[in-house]
């Protein structure tokens, strides 16, 4: 099947086997989620139909956050319900804040609810595909042995852009990163994802076992290639022979993931209780749309995910570029200008007539960079994005969209700016988003109200903002972030001009003055 047909079908179909519109039946009294209470849930709640104890933990997933639980785990769950496969999953948390996820999942036997909320659909599905959860802070050795064990065939990752310890400007491994330094010196008790992967692979090699596939599910251009480079770079610092074995035997499929998953709020938990009668320590909220496209390169087998709606192709790049440059970049555009306007939620920004029109033109500016796909209607895709961003039911927080801009902008916006400059096209709308980000990291919106800046480089950015004063050159000179754009005098001048405009006038006034 062609790439174009896959994309077209994804626009027509939201969730594989979508549930009917909820009829608002009166639920039973509140049910605390557990194996024993599944039978007490309302009939419209989808629950596991397979025997969880019969699953083999063939997948280890590192970074069990909202997105993974609403996306990859759901594809596996749907496959388990439909086909009765034996593939199960062990979740792993590496970060101190993952203690909350451990407590929530362990309290309900690793079950959780996916609460899908949209204009025309409201449904609940209990997911049981994750039957074990390990918290690395409590036992690094238990995590290493789980990954190194012979039953593990795939290790998948959602560790965000920063988890790969790469220099944003050059794309090379940051050998001075604290996690890299620590993990090279403490091989049996690593801290970062690369340390765990390489030590586990070393144990597999020593024991004569087949390796596992490393499957990145993060929003990175060429995420499999990026992960391969990071793993091999780290392994080469540790042991060249191990690096050579990994290079020869381990596969790193590229993939594209798509689905909006906001941070779960107390109001979401209350709605889940009120509508479906489910008491869940940490449900995950998501939109109806879901898409996953993968290269079929797995060195030690894989589930038959295609039976659950995963699209396999030899050409992930067109999907990836379309999604990163339109959806993710569009989100950033709404986010940084919306937060300056004082909006809290994405749907509020998308409903603002001036911002909505700006976003429409922003997407039009990027469209010439998207590969032409026969049979694929890019205009329909862009309209779908506007509708998804406008979904008020999931109440997606702008603070989530704006977080970690120093890692996201080099993936979502800066590549388009470079390409547009090369083609002699206007970069003004994209540059305005960069100017908006520069104000965002200063910590105040257009009315002088405080903004909570969420970024791994917050301390450095704050120091640069203080040093810059009215001259943004100090910020724009960050070559590790902006790369070769720091040498583009015309572009730098454009950003300076737009930054002054945003500081002197409101976002709305700047946008209304646009030609």
CA distances from 417 to 10, 146, 422, 424 (A): 28, 43, 9, 10
* Residue 284 reports pLDDT greater than 50: yes
* Residues 389 and 484 reside in one and the same domain: yes
The string of pLDDT tens digits covering residues 345-400 is: 999 999 999 999 999 999 999 999 998 776 778 899 999 999 999 999 999 999 99
CA 319, 322, 326, 329 torsion: positive or negative?
positive
Distance from C-alpha of 281 to C-alpha of 137, rounded to nearest angstrom: 21
Q: Is the Cβ–Cβ distance between 141 and 135 less than 8 Å?
A: no
Total number of residues shown for the chain: 515
Contacts with 395 (C-beta within 8 Å, 6 or more apart), sequence order: 262, 265, 267, 268, 345, 347
pTM for the full predicted model: 0.89
336 shares its domain with 351: yes
In a domain, 15, yes or no: no
298, 328: one domain = no
For residue 27, the 8-state DSSP code is: P
pLDDT at position 422 = 96
Residue 84: per-residue pLDDT? 76
Tokens of 72: 């990859």
Give domain status of residue 488, yes or no: yes
- Domain end, chosen from 275, 291, 312, is at 312
Q: Which of 398, 400, 332, 404 is nearest to 366 (CA)?
A: 332
Provide the β-strand partners of residue 117. Answer: 122
Contact 131, 91 (CB under 8 A): no
In a domain, 16, yes or no: no
For the record, the structure tokens of 425 come out as: 């096209």
pLDDT in tens, 179-236: 999 999 999 999 999 999 999 999 999 999 999 999 999 988 899 999 999 999 999 9
Asked if 256 and 329 sit in the same domain, the reply is no
The pLDDT score that the predictor gives to residue 107 is: 97
CATH number at residue 225: 3.40.50.720
User: Around Cβ 467, how many Cβ atoms within 10 Å?
Assistant: 10
pLDDT band at 466 (very low <50, low <70, confident <90, very high): confident
* Strand, coil or helix: 494: helix
Residue 374, token pair as written in the block: 């026969």
Angle between helices 405-412 and 329-341 (to 10 degrees): 130
Residue 171 lies in a domain: yes
The pLDDT assigned to 31 comes to 87
The token pair that represents 234 in the structure block: 């780290």
Under DSSP, is residue 124 helix (H, G, I), strand (E, B) or coil? Answer: strand
Task: Tell me: pLDDT of 19 over 70.
Answer: no
Q: Which two tokens stand for residue 230?
A: 């990071």
d(CA 303, CA 95): 28
Q: Are 358 and 429 in contact (CB under 8 A)?
A: yes
When the pLDDT of each residue in the chain is averaged and rounded to a whole number, the result is: 92
Residue 47 and residue 276: Cα distance in Å, rounded? 13
Q: What range does the domain containing 487 cover?
A: 317-512
Say whether pLDDT at 407 is over 80.
yes
For residues 137 and 249, state if they share a domain: yes
Of the candidates 316, 321, 274, the residue with the CA atom closest to the CA atom of residue 292: 316
More confident residue, 365 or 4: 365
Model confidence at 465, in pLDDT bands (50, 70, 90)? confident
Are 479 and 406 in the same domain? yes
Q: Are residues 300 and 405 in the same domain?
A: no
Alpha-carbon span 429 to 197, nearest angstrom: 40
| Nearest to 186, CA basis, from 177, 195, 175 | 195
20 lies in a domain? no
Per the structure, how many domains does the chain have?
2
Residues facing residue 90 across a β-bridge: 60, 132
List the one residue out of 17, 135, 122, 119 whose CA is nearest residue 390.
Answer: 119
* CA–CA distance, 416 with 412 (Å, rounded to integer): 8
Query: CA triplet 342, 485, 476: central angle to 5 degrees?
Result: 50
Diameter of the chain measured on Cα atoms: 67
Residue at 18 is within a domain: no
User: 2 in a domain, yes or no?
Assistant: no
Tell me what the mean pLDDT of segment 61-90 comes to. Answer: 96
Distance, in Å, from the CA atom of 383 to the CA atom of 68, rounded to the nearest integer, reads: 26
Residue 11 in any domain: the answer is no
pLDDT at residue 28 is higher than 60: no
Mean of pLDDT values over 253-275: 95
pLDDT-derived band of residue 95, with 50, 70 and 90 as boundaries?
Answer: very high
Domain boundary among 291, 312, 333: 312
Give percent of the chain with pLDDT exceeding 70: 94
By DSSP bridging, strand 56-62 and strand 87-93 are parallel
The C-alpha atoms of residue 34 and residue 48 are separated, in whole angstroms, by 12
Which stretches of 261-338 are assigned E, i.e. beta strand? Answer: 278-279, 284-286, 291-294, 311-312
Measured distance CA(343)–CA(352) in Å, rounded: 10
Q: Are residues 293 and 323 in the same domain?
A: no
Q: Given this model, what pLDDT does residue 88 score? A: 97
Question: For the residues 91-114, what does the mean pLDDT come to?
Answer: 97
- Per the listing, tokens 């064990």 go with 149
Clarify whether residues 54 and 128 are in a common domain: yes
Which residue in 169, 192, 159, 191 sits closest to 68, CA to CA? Answer: 159
Q: How confident is the model at residue 5, as a pLDDT?
A: 45
**Contact between residue 108 and residue 99 where contact means Cβ atoms under 8 Å apart:** no
What is the CATH number for 476? Answer: 1.10.1040.10
Q: Minimum mean pLDDT among 1-10, 148-157, 183-192, 464-473: which range?
A: 1-10
343 and 238 in a common domain: no
**H or E element in which residue 199 lies:** helix 193-206
Check residue 374 and give its pLDDT: 65
Q: Measured between alpha carbons, how far is residue 470 from residues 3, 260, 429, 467, 499 in Å?
A: 48, 36, 21, 9, 10
Q: Which of 312, 330, 362 is the last residue of a domain?
A: 312
Q: Residues of the chain with pLDDT > 90: what percent?
A: 82
Q: What is the pLDDT of residue 312?
A: 94
Predicted confidence (pLDDT) at residue 496 exceeds the cutoff of 90: yes
Residues 253 and 232 grouped into a single domain? yes
- For residue 29, pLDDT over 80 is answered with no
Gap between the terminal Cα atoms of the chain: 43
262/396 same-domain check:
no
pLDDT for residue 22 is more than 60: no
Give one word for 396, left, alpha or beta, with left for phi > 0 and alpha for psi -120 to 50. Answer: beta
Element housing 217 (H / E): none
| DSSP-assigned states of every residue in 317-378 | HHHHHHIIIIIIHHHHHHHHHHHHHT--BHHHHHHSHHHHHHHHHHHHHHGGGSPP-TT--H
What's the pLDDT at 18? 42
């Amino acid at each position: 099947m062609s790439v174009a047909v896959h994309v077209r079908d994804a626009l027509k179909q939201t969730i594989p086997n979508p549930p009917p519109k909820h009829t608002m039946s009166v639920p039973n009294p509140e049910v605390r989620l557990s194996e024993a209470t599944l039978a007490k849930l309302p009939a419209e709640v989808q629950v596991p139909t397979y025997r969880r104890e019969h699953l083999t933990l063939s997948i280890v997933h590192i970074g069990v956050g909202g997105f993974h639980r609403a996306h990859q785990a759901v594809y596996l769950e749907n496959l388990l319900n439909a086909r009765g496969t034996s593939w199960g999953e062990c979740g792993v948390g590496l970060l101190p804040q993952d203690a909350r996820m451990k407590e929530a999942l362990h309290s309900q036997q690793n079950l959780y609810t996916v609460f899908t909320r949209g204009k025309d659909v409201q449904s609940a599905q209990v997911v049981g595909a994750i039957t074990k959860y390990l918290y690395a802070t409590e036992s690094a050795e238990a995590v290493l042995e789980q990954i190194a064990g012979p039953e593990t065939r795939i290790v998948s990752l959602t560790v965000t852009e920063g988890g790969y310890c790469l220099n944003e400007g050059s794309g090379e491994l940051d050998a001075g990163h604290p996690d890299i330094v620590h993990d090279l010196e403490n091989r049996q008790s690593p801290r970062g994802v690369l340390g765990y992967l390489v030590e586990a692979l070393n144990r597999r090699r020593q024991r004569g076992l087949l390796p596992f596939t490393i499957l990145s599910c993060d929003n990175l251009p060429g995420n499999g290639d990026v992960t391969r480079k990071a793993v091999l770079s780290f392994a080469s610092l540790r042991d060249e022979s191990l690096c050579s074995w990994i290079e020869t035997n381990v596969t790193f499929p590229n993939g594209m993931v798509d689905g909006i998953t906001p941070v779960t709020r107390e109001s979401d938990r209350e709605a889940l209780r009120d509508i479906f009668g489910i008491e869940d320590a940490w449900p995950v909220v998501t939109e109806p749309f879901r898409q996953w496209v993968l290269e079929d390169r797995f060195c030690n087998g894989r589930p038959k995910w295609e039976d659950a709606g995963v699209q396999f192709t030899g050409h992930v790049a067109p999907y990836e570029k379309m999604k990163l440059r339109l959806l993710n970049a569009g989100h950033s555009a709404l986010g940084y200008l919306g937060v300056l306007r004082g909006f809290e939620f994405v749907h509020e920004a998308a409903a603002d007539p001036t911002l909505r029109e700006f976003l429409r033109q922003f997407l039009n500016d990027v469209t010439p960079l998207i590969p032409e796909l026969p049979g694929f209607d890019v205009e329909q895709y862009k309209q779908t994005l506007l509708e998804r961003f406008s979904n008020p039911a999931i109440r997606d927080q702008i603070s989530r969209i704006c977080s970690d801009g120093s890692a996201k902008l080099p993936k979502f916006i800066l590549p388009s700016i470079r390409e547009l400059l090369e083609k002699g096209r206007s970069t003004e709308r994209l540059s305005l988003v960069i100017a908006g980000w520069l104000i965002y990291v200063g910590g105040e919106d257009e009315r002088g109200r405080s903004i909570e800046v969420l970024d791994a480089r917050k301390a450095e950015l704050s120091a640069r903002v203080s040093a810059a004063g009215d001259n943004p050159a100090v910020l724009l000179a960050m070559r590790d972030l902006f790369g070769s754009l720091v040498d583009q005098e015309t572009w730098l001048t454009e950003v300076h001009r737009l930054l002054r405009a945003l500081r002197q006038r409101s976002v709305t006034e700047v946008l209304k003055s646009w030609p």
